[in-house]
Amino acid sequence: MRQSFMPVPRKIPYMLKAVTALVFVSTAIAQPSAEELLRNVKTVYGRAHQFHFVTRVIERRSGTETTGSAETAVDKDRVWFNAERRAAVWASGGREETAIKVVSDGHAVWVYLKESNQYKKAEGVPDPRNSDADDESIDNPRFFVRTLMDAQLVRYVNFHRMSSRARVKGEGACTANAAPATCYVVEINGESLNPEVVMGVYTLWIEKQRYLVLREDFKEIDNGQVSYSSSILNDIAELDTTVADKRFSFVPPPDAKEVQSFFY
Q: Which domain, by its residues, includes 94?
A: 48-156+243-258
CA distance 198 to 104: 40
Same domain, 254 and 219: no
Q: Can you give the pLDDT at residue 194? A: 59
CA distance 234 to 55: 4
Q: Can you give the pLDDT at residue 264? A: 83
Q: What is the DSSP letter of 138?
A: T
Q: Please tell me the least confidently modeled range out of 5-9, 110-114, 129-133.
A: 5-9
Domain membership of residue 9 (yes or no) is no
Q: Can you give the pLDDT at residue 131? A: 86
Same domain, 248 and 144: yes
> Tell me, what amino acid is at 56?
R
Nearest CA-CA partner of 56 in 245, 236, 240: 236
Same domain, 103 and 89: yes
Provide the pairing of β-strand 166-176 with 118-123: unpaired
> Tell me, what amino acid is at 64?
T
Q: Tens of pLDDT along 222-248?
A: 877 888 999 999 999 999 888 889 889
pTM, 2 dp: 0.82
